[in-house]
Amino acid sequence: MTAPASDMAVPGAVAVPLLLLGAVTAAAGCGYQSCPATRPDLLNVHLVPHTHDDVGWLKTVEQYFYGGRLEFVGGGWCMSDEAAAHYSPAIEQLALGRRFLRREFGACGTPRVAWQIDPFGHSRQLAAIFAQMGYDGLFVGRVDHQDKATREELREMELLWRASGSLPPPAADLFTGVLPNVYNPPSGFCWDQLCSDPPVVDEDSEENNVDSIVSTFLQIAASQAERYRTNHIIMTMGSDFHYENANLWFKNMDKLIAHVNARQANGSRVHVLYSTPSCYLWELYQANLTWSLKTDDFFPYADGPHQFWTGYFTSRPAFKRYERLSNNFLQICSQLEALAGPAAREGPYGPGNSFVLREAVAVAQHHDAVTGTEKQHVADDYARQLAVGWESCQLLVANALASLSGSKENFVFCNALNVSVCPLTETAGRFTVILYNPLGRRLSWPIRLPVNGASYAVTDPEGQPVPSEVIPISNFTRRLRGDGGSATRELLFQASVPPLGFSTFTVSRLSRGDPRAHPARTPVLSQPREIQNEHVRVLFDPLTGHLKEIQNLDKSISLPVFQSFYWYNASVGNDESSQASGAYIFRPNSSEPIPVSGSKRVSAHLVKNALVQEVHQNFSSWCSQVVRLRAGQPYLELEWTVGPIPVADGWGKEIISRFETTLQTDARFYTDSNGRQILERRRDYRPTWNLSQTEPVAGNYYPVNSRIFIKDKKFQLTVLTDRSQGGSSVFDGSLELMVHRRLLYDDNRGVGEPLVELGADKQGLVVRGRHLVLLDTVESAADRHRLLAQELFMAPYAVLAPGGGPSYRRGQPSLRQFSALRRELPPNVHLLTLTPWDAVETATDAGTLLLRLEHQFEKGESANGSQPVTVDLLNLFSAFTITSVQEMSLGADLPLSAVSRLVWTPDTGPAKPRPVPRLDPSQVTLQPMEIRTFLATVQYKVASTGPGGP
C-alpha cells in the first residue's frame, strides 16, 4: 500500500477483499439490478465511498460503514501486484478470495468488477486472468503520467483491453477504466478523521461554506467530465485506512449530495449520487459506445519525469525467490494431498494442512509483499508466515509419501541445499533420496547434496547403478554458508523421475578399498578456454576469463556473447530532480554502469568430470559466478552469488548481469507477462503515446517474471530467471537483468526507510540465483524456453530419509517409484492445478478435486507447440478414478456455463462470444494459451491394495 509523496501510508498492510461503502437507495437484491436510478438528462457524479479492509486492523461491519450498502470488488485474497507476481499464484489467490466470498455471502458476494487501484503498473496477463474469471471490467489507479495526460486529452481514460493475442475475442477482452485521482477523493473533499479538509457547514452561521463547496465541486465535476466520454463520472471518496469513523464521511457526503442536487432547481445540470464501481460500470455499458482498443500493457509506470517505478521489479531478491519456491512447494503439497487423499491430512507424522501455506502464498502476492516495497520488519513477517506454511505442508508431504510408497521413513527436509547444508547427507553412510516431480512429463533432474565422503554408490528404484561424481564445495559456497554446515564435498547425480510421481534413490558411502570408488580428482586451476557437452559448447577468453562465445551444436550455430556484472550508482537526487533511487523507484545517477571487477581479468578455474563442467569466476570479494554445463543439458546455467553489496563508500548500488552480443536487434527486446505471455518491448518507445524519455535506463526497464530475450532474423538468445527481476536492452545486441540492489535513501513513496537489507548476519544480504541461457533459432526457441520455464517454477523436490523405515500398512509392499499418470502429458500441456476441493474423511470415499490444464504456447510461436492439443481426462490418472466432471470458470467458483459477461464493442468492430461447447471429458481440447478448469469427483483406490504405478 503506497501513497503519493505528500500522503504517507502505512506500508505492508495487506488488503483482503476491498469494501465499498455507500448509502445506495436502490431496488432489492444485488448486482446491476440493484443499482440506483440516474438522470439521463444530467451529468451523473457517482460517489464511491471505499476503504482498504486491512488484515490485522479489522473492525466490525458496523464500524466500517454507516447506513448503506456494501459491495465487494476485486475479491482476491489480496490486491495482488502485477509485475512480480507469477500467473500461477496470481490465479490461486484470486480463486481463494472468490471462493471465500461465495461461501460466506452467496451469489451476491461474487465481484463483477476488478479493482486494482494501487499496484504500480498493470499487466496484460493479469487482465486476461480477470476476463477469464468472469469480471465485467477493471478499474486502475496508477498509469504513467504521460499516458494519463494523453488519455485525458483524447478522452480515452476508459478503454477496451484485449489482453491476449491467442485467445479469440472477446474471451480475454476487459473493459478498463483509469480513475481520475489514483484512488483518492478530489482535492478539498476528504472528510475522514485522517484528513484535514473543512467539513460542510450548512447551519445558519458565519462559517456556512455551502456555496463555496458546491461551486468548487461543480467546477471539479465539469473539468473531469471533459476527460471522460459519457454523462457519468466516478469519484473515489476514501483512501487507505479510511472509514474507521464512517459517520464523518457520510455526514458530509449527505450534505454535499443534498446541496449539489438542490442547485438543479436553478438550472444546474449535475446530479450526485452514492454509487459503487459496478453501478458506474453498468451505466458505461448502457451508453452503448465503442471504445478504443489496447493490446499492450501499462508498464513501466512513472508518476513524474524522473520517477520510474522499476526498482521494485528486483527489490528484496531473496524474498522474491522464497515466494517463488513457496508456490512451487505449495503445488507439490496440493498434488500429493490430491493423490494420497485423506491419508495425507491425517497420518503417522501428524495433521497435515496445505491451507496455511496456501494463505501465506496468497498474501505474498500483495502489492507490497512480493514487490519488496514493505518495511523490513513486515518483509520478515511475510517470510515467517511462509515458513509456518512450509512446516504444515511438510507434515502433509511426509504423510502422503508414506502412504503412496508404503514405507514410514524418517523424512528429512533440507531447506538449505542452495548453500550445501544438510546434516543427514553430511553425516550418514547410507540414505535415500525421494524425488517428486510435479510436472506432467518425465524429467532427468540434477541432484546435488553436501557430503564428506570421497566416493558414493547411487542406485535407482530398480537397484541399478546411477553414475555419480563427488566434487569439492566451492569457496563461494563455503563463505556463504558460514558455520551452517561442515561438508567438504558435493555429491552429484542425474535422477530420472516419472511424471506426477516420485523415484527413490539409495546412496551409500564407499570405503577406500571398494572397487567402485573413484580416485579423488582435483580441479584444473588454469584459465579455462572452453566447456562442452553433446549440445552446447562455451568459449572463454583466456586472457580475461569472461564468457566469449556460445555454440548450439545441434543447430551448428554460434554467437559471440560477452557476460559480466556491473553496478549502477543509485541517485540521491540532483539538480534535475530530488528523486532518489529506493524500494519502488530505480534512478541511476549515470546511464553508464561501473564494472564490478576492478580489473579486466576475472580469476577463473575449471571443475570437470563426466557429469558436469563448471567454470568458477570471481568478479570481486562480493560477486562470483559458476558457469555450468551438465551432461545432456541443452542450455547454459549461470549460478550467481552477489553480496553483501558494499556501501561504505556512501553509494547505493544496483547490480546487473549484462550480456552483449552481435545480434542486430533494432531496439527491440522481449519480456514475459507474469511468466506466461510474451510482449515485444522497444527502447524509448510506448505503443499508445509519443514518449518523452527522461530516464534512458530506468525508463526502459520492464518486469521479467520468467524470461527475457533478444533476436535477429535468424537467432535468439533467451535468458530465463528463477525469480522476478527487472530487465532491459539498453543498447542493441545487449540484454541485462538486475539481480540485487542496496540503497541508502528512501524514495519518498510511503515506506519510510531505505532498502538496505542487512541479512541474517547483519553484514548485508547475500543472494544466490540462476540464469539459464538458451541459444537457438528463432523458429525453435519457444519449444525450449516454454518447457524450461515450467521446470523452473514447478521444479521437482527432493525429500531425504535414512532409509529402512517400517511398512506403512501391514503387508503393504514398498513402492520405490510411482506415477499418478497413465501416460505423459503432451509437451505443450501443463497441469497447472491439482488440489483437493472438498476434504474427505475416509480413504474409500469419493472426493472432489480441482484440476486446471493449460496450453502453454502462444499462437504462432512454434510450428508444433502452438497446435491445438487434445487430452483424455478420464484415462489420464492412475491414482484415482474420475467418476464425474464439471467444467468451471477459471476461478472455479462458477460453472463455465453460468458465466455471463458484459460484451463491450471496440472501435475496431464487435466480437461475438463463442458458446460453451458440451464437455466430453475423454476429449478435452486446448487451444494456444487456453486454461480449462474442472471439478472432478474421484474414487480413490481401496487403501489395502496400495496405489498404482505408471
Just list the catalytic residues. 118
Q: Which residues pair with 849 in a beta bridge?
A: 836, 936
Let me know if 309 is exposed, middle or buried by CB neighbors in 10 A (0-12, 13-18, 19+): buried
* Helix or strand holding residue 628 (H, E): strand 623-630
User: Counting Cβ atoms within 10 Å, is residue 838 exposed (0-12), middle (13-18) or buried (19+)?
Assistant: exposed
Strand partners, 704: 725
What is the distance between the alpha carbons of residues 507 and 515, in angstroms, rounded to a whole number?
16
Q: In what order do the strands lie in the sheet with 489-497?
A: 443-451, 489-497, 468-472
Angle between helices 87-105 and 317-340 (to 10 degrees): 60
Helix spans in 200-245 (H): 210-225
CA distance 686 to 709: 18
- Specify the pairing of strand 350-351 against strand 346-347: antiparallel
- Residue among 103, 98, 92, 93 at smallest CA distance from 113: 98
Residues 6+ apart with CB under 8 A from 918: none
User: Which residue in this structure is represented by grid cell 471504445?
Assistant: 291
Q: How many CB atoms neighbour CB 88 within 10 A?
A: 25
Nearest Cα residue to 501 out of 436, 411, 444: 436
Please say whether the dihedral angle defined by the alpha carbons of residues 576, 579, 585 and 587, taken in this order, is positive or negative: positive
Q: What is the DSSP letter of 289?
A: -
Positive or negative, the CA dihedral 922, 927, 928, 930 is negative
**Of 225, 234, 113, the residue nearest 178 (C-alpha):** 234
**Separation of alpha carbons 738 and 771, rounded Å:** 11
Whose CA is closest to 113, among 95, 134, 132, 96? Answer: 134
Phi, psi of 668 (to 5 degrees): -105, 145
DSSP codes, 104-131: HHGGGGS-SEEEE-SSSS--HHHHHHHH
Q: Is the peptide bond before 868 cis (omega within 30 degrees of 0)?
A: no
In 3-state terms the chain splits into helix, strand, coil percentages (rounded to 5) of 20, 30, 50
- Cell numbers linked to 398: 511426509
DSSP string, 894-911: SBGGG------EETT---
Residue whose cell numbers read 576469463: 545
What CA–CA distance (Å, rounded) separates 43 from 109? 30
Angle at 80 between CA 887 and CA 390, to 5 degrees: 80
Phi/psi zone of residue 668: left (φ > 0), alpha (ψ -120 to 50 degrees), beta?
beta
Among 16, 86, 85, which Cα is nearest to 312's? Answer: 85
Q: Which cell goes with 706?
A: 520468467
For residue 673, CA distances in Å to 88, 318, 538 come to 12, 21, 30
CA distance 503 to 798: 10
Residue 580 DSSP one-character state: P
SS3 937: strand
Run of H or E including 319: helix 317-340
Provide the sign of the torsion angle of the four alpha carbons 669, 671, 677, 682, taken in this order.
Answer: negative
